[in-house]
Structure 1
Amino acid sequence: MTISSALNSAMSGLQAASQASGLVSNNIANALTPGYAPRTLSLSSSSIGTTGGVQINGVVRHLDMQVIADRRLASAEFGYRATTSDYLNQIEDIIGTPDEEASLSGLLASFESALILASSRPDAVERLDATALSADDLAKSINDVADGIQSARTDADQSIAEQVDRLNQALQDVQKLNESITAANVQKNDASGLLDQRQVLIDEISEIVPVRVLDRDNGTVALYSTGGGILLDGNAAEVGFEPSNVVTPFMSIEDGSLSGLTINGVSVNTSSDNGQLHGGTLGAQFEIRDELAPETQTQIDALARDLIERFESSAVDPTLAPGQAGLFTDQGGALDPTLELGLANRISLNALVDPTAGGETWRLRDGLGAVAPGDTGDATLLNAFSDALTETRVPLSRSYGSAALSAAGIATSLSSQIGTSRLREDQQLSFASAQYYELSELALANGVDTDVELQNLMVIEQAYAANARVIETVDEMFNTLLGI
């Protein structure tokens, strides 16, 4: 080896060691940075002429793309399950469980008890007042459940709008990064930082909509939803959505009163069965707004209808005239079976017996259609009300099947269905959470290992010292030659 070739080899070694130490320092500094992948320097022996040395081929990012892809899908599933579980927990909190006094079932039981107490002393005004107030609490509890459902649908609609805005921005940012990465690769520049940024954005997108990443030329990628929607392939897709200020029980995606999704102006399916963007937090909000909440609305409306029907019959209260509202009303009027949707929002205690609305509670004893108080010791109507409440009958709306149920049985069935759904969703959430946690841990294990990096730094320092010693030796040789 000539002196010049030795000097050239040492200089190239110093340059490689310098860049390698910079990468190690960068790795350690970014050990906790989201999306950061550890880098190493790709080296090979130089074959230029007879000078020898080391050649720097570029920077290599180290990450397991299969683990990353699995973690993204797990993230979407976790977000989806967490969102639907939160909704079911929210509704269960509003309805309450049968063992809670303030729950729907508890208020029904309190109303039944108030009727029994009043029938034992029909002359006691305070017991009649307590019965009327208990009935009013029951009606308002049904209103609260319906209002909670409406609020959940409104919140879901607003969340969809926010997520669509963020999704569109993230897709545009990925498109810009694709272009920057292409430019960096063409110019032989290191694009590792750009790749890190793109990875973070794709992770965020995959939580909203589960995506598959396909490699394209010059380091670019295409994004497809797992449902088959094209989100980015060259150009970013434009996802469209029109939010509503308030979502009422009468609004639905089927009648066009609620917005669906479009991709580049083309409508896409948003159902939980085969929606193109289903599976992440965006799909979960659509499921809440268009499926879960309307189903709960149907069930609470059926309960409200059954409660009104039980006390609207002249067989229960002979003083009622045809078409006159009974103890419970549809905003003060009689029940119209064709207007069941939203009935839970409208059910109220008849103002004729509501003491807070100027009503007279003696009508609970003598009849809502009575013109004057009757025998204060007659508990016939109060007993009839109690029997009507506990009578087992098949709900005419069929939302609870064909089994004969009492009013308490319907409320218990509703609580049971919500509780069962919530429990099942919590179990699925636990599985999704464990899967996401394990895959996240695996991805982190493939990230920066500071112990390994410090060991690499020691090797690099030794290489640097060795190359420096070669240069020092060459310098001594030149000085010796010059001194001859």
Structure 2
Amino acid sequence: MSISSALSNALSGLTAASRRADVLSANVANALTPGYGRREVRLSALSLGGNGAGVRVEGITRTVNTTLIGDRRLADADASSAEVRAQTLKRIEDAIGDPTEPHSLSARIDDLERALVLAAGRPDSEARLQSVAGSAGALASTLQDLTREMQDIRMDADQEIARQVDLLNTTLRQIDTLNANILAQRGAGRDSAALMDQRQVLVDRLAAIVPLREVARDHDQIALFTTGGAMLLDGNPAEIGFSSVGVITPDMRLQSGALSGLTINGMAIASDETGPLRGGSLAAFFSVRDQITTDAQAQIDSLARDLIDRFSDPGTDPTLTPGSVGLFTDHGGPVVIANQAGLAGRISLNGAVDPARGGALWRIRDGIGSTAPGPSGDSTRLQALTEVMGQARIPAGGSATGVARSASDLASDVLSRISGARLAAESSGAHAAARQSALVDLELADGVDTDAEMQTLLLVEQAFAANARVIQTLDDLIQQLIGL
């Protein structure tokens, strides 16, 4: 081997060792950086005229486990969906209140029943009659507050859907831009690994919103498809459409067109768990807006109607005529069966027994339809009102239809259903979170091993020193030859 060949070999070795040292140090520095893919330097033997001429740096390889990342992204979507549902059900449960809390729905019904019992014991006591009116008014206010809370939750969900759709569209455009930039870098022969890291972070961001699969294309390009079959990115990004509303009322439904669904490139798609974007937080917020809260609203509407019906029965209060209202009203009148949605938000104390609205408390004792006070010691109707509160009746509407319940039992059923759904959502969320955590740990373990990188760096340092020693030796030899 000639001196020039030996020098060429050593110089190429120095270049390769230097490049490997740069890459190894970058791996160690970014061991915990989200989206970072471990780099490896590709080397090959360099020959010239059939003789060895050193080593060639072919390029940088970005090493990631795409299968593991794909599974982790699906786990991200499951965990995000379960969290949204559990948090919503917990919010509804807190609004209904624990029965031991003084302002809970069950406590309000118990207060009314207790006030009726006390009033029946002293029918001549205006203070006790006032307590009945106050307890009934507080119960109506609690139901109204629950209805407002349901609509607030629906509004929050609608706004969050709009935010996530905007994030989807923005991020898809960013990924498309990165695809183009990666292609340009590749065409120019430059390293595009950093751009691929950025792209992975953006895809991870989308994965919690919509469960998706990444499909590799030629020249380091990627396409994105949802697990439901929708194409989000393949050459060009899809455009997801959605329109939020300013106010949501109990009667507004997606099916009636009062609320917006989703579109992909202008074509309407199913927005629930049967649609192509099912499985992530986006579909979960649709479930919150269109199912979870509407089901809860139907249950409290059923309770409100049951209360109105209980006290509007002429068998309980003979002063009432068929079609008239008793202690509770639907916004001052009888229940309109075709308009039961949101009834809990319209229930109110009958103005005939409310002194603040020109009514008289004695009508609670003598009958809502009475035109004049009766004997102050007559507790017959008060006892009937007390008994009707505990009477098992079949509600006229809602999910409890067909099961006879007292007023107190109905309130307990509402809370029980919500609590059961919340516990189920939390259990599902715990399973999803555990799976997500395990996959994240596997992904980290499959990433940069700092111990292995440092050991390799020591070997690279030795290789660098050996090549430098060769160059030093060749320099000494050349100096001797020049001195001859």
Report the TM-score when normalising by structure 2: 0.97
Range moving further from structure 2, 360-369 or 65-74: 360-369
The equivalent residue for 1:442 is 442
Residues 399-427 of structure 1: per-residue CA shift (max 9 Å, x gap): 21312111111111111111111111110
The equivalent residue for 1:112 is 113
Query: How is 1:121-140 mapped onto 2 (pairs within 5 angstroms)?
Result: 121-140=122-141
The equivalent residue for 2:462 is 462
Identity %: 47
1:37 & 1:254 partners in 2: Cα distance? 45
CA contact 1:98–1:415 (8 Å) conserved in 2: no
In the TM superposition, what is the alpha-carbon distance from 1:398 to its structure 2 partner?
A: 5.2
CA contact 2:323–2:334 (8 Å) conserved in 1: yes
- SS for the counterpart of 1:42 is strand
2:398 & 2:138 partners in 1: Cα distance? 26
2:394 & 2:279 partners in 1: Cα distance? 37
- SS for the counterpart of 2:276 is coil
Query: How is 1:298-313 mapped onto 2 (pairs within 5 angstroms)?
Result: 298-313=298-313
AA in 1 matched with 2:115: A
1:475 & 1:354 partners in 2: Cα distance? 109
2:472 & 2:373 partners in 1: Cα distance? 118
1:444 & 1:140 partners in 2: Cα distance? 53
Distance 1:353 1:2, change over 3 A: same
Residues 411-453 of structure 1: per-residue CA shift (max 9 Å, x gap): 1111111111111111001001111111111111122232222
AA in 2 matched with 1:468: A
AA in 2 matched with 1:18: S
2:153 & 2:48 partners in 1: Cα distance? 70
1:217 & 1:9 partners in 2: Cα distance? 35
In the TM superposition, what is the alpha-carbon distance from 1:337 to its structure 2 partner?
A: 1.9
CA contact 1:8–1:51 (8 Å) conserved in 2: no
Residues 310-329 of structure 1: per-residue CA shift (max 9 Å, x gap): 00122212222443321001
AA in 2 matched with 1:345: G
Range moving further from structure 2, 247-256 or 368-377: 368-377
2:266 & 2:198 partners in 1: Cα distance? 29
CA contact 2:240–2:264 (8 Å) conserved in 1: yes
AA in 2 matched with 1:463: A
The equivalent residue for 1:182 is 183
The equivalent residue for 1:359 is 359
The equivalent residue for 1:47 is 47
Please say if 1:287 is aligned against 2:287: yes
In the TM superposition, what is the alpha-carbon distance from 1:189 to its structure 2 partner?
A: 1.4
In the TM superposition, what is the alpha-carbon distance from 1:393 to its structure 2 partner?
A: 1.3
The equivalent residue for 1:381 is 381
1:91 & 1:344 partners in 2: Cα distance? 15
AA in 2 matched with 1:474: L
The equivalent residue for 1:198 is 199
The equivalent residue for 1:79 is 80
1:260 & 1:156 partners in 2: Cα distance? 13
Residues 7-61 of structure 1: per-residue CA shift (max 9 Å, x gap): 1111011111111111122222222221111212111211233242111111111
In the TM superposition, what is the alpha-carbon distance from 1:345 to its structure 2 partner?
A: 1.0
Q: RMSD between aligned alpha carbons?
A: 1.3
The equivalent residue for 1:390 is 390
2:53 & 2:354 partners in 1: Cα distance? 100
2:437 & 2:399 partners in 1: Cα distance? 39
CA contact 1:136–1:354 (8 Å) conserved in 2: no
2:439 & 2:394 partners in 1: Cα distance? 50
CA contact 2:116–2:385 (8 Å) conserved in 1: yes
The equivalent residue for 1:147 is 148
Q: Which runs of 5+ in 1 are unaligned?
A: none
CA contact 1:161–1:241 (8 Å) conserved in 2: yes
Residues 299-345 of structure 1: per-residue CA shift (max 9 Å, x gap): 11111111100001222122224433210011111122222111011
Instruction: Report how many aligned residue pairs link the two structures.
Output: 483
1:444 & 1:289 partners in 2: Cα distance? 36
In the TM superposition, what is the alpha-carbon distance from 1:239 to its structure 2 partner?
A: 0.3
- SS for the counterpart of 1:255 is coil
CA contact 1:354–1:360 (8 Å) conserved in 2: yes
Please say if 1:270 is aligned against 2:271: yes
In the TM superposition, what is the alpha-carbon distance from 1:362 to its structure 2 partner?
A: 1.9
CA contact 2:105–2:411 (8 Å) conserved in 1: yes
- SS for the counterpart of 2:351 is coil
Residues 355-414 of structure 1: per-residue CA shift (max 9 Å, x gap): 454533222111222223221111111111111111111112152131211111111111
2:417 & 2:423 partners in 1: Cα distance? 10
Q: Which runs of 5+ in 2 are unaligned?
A: none
CA contact 1:132–1:355 (8 Å) conserved in 2: no
CA contact 2:224–2:231 (8 Å) conserved in 1: yes
Report the TM-score when normalising by structure 1: 0.97
AA in 2 matched with 1:414: V
Distance 1:358 1:11, change over 3 A: farther
Range moving further from structure 2, 279-288 or 350-359: 350-359
- SS for the counterpart of 2:40 is strand
The equivalent residue for 1:220 is 221
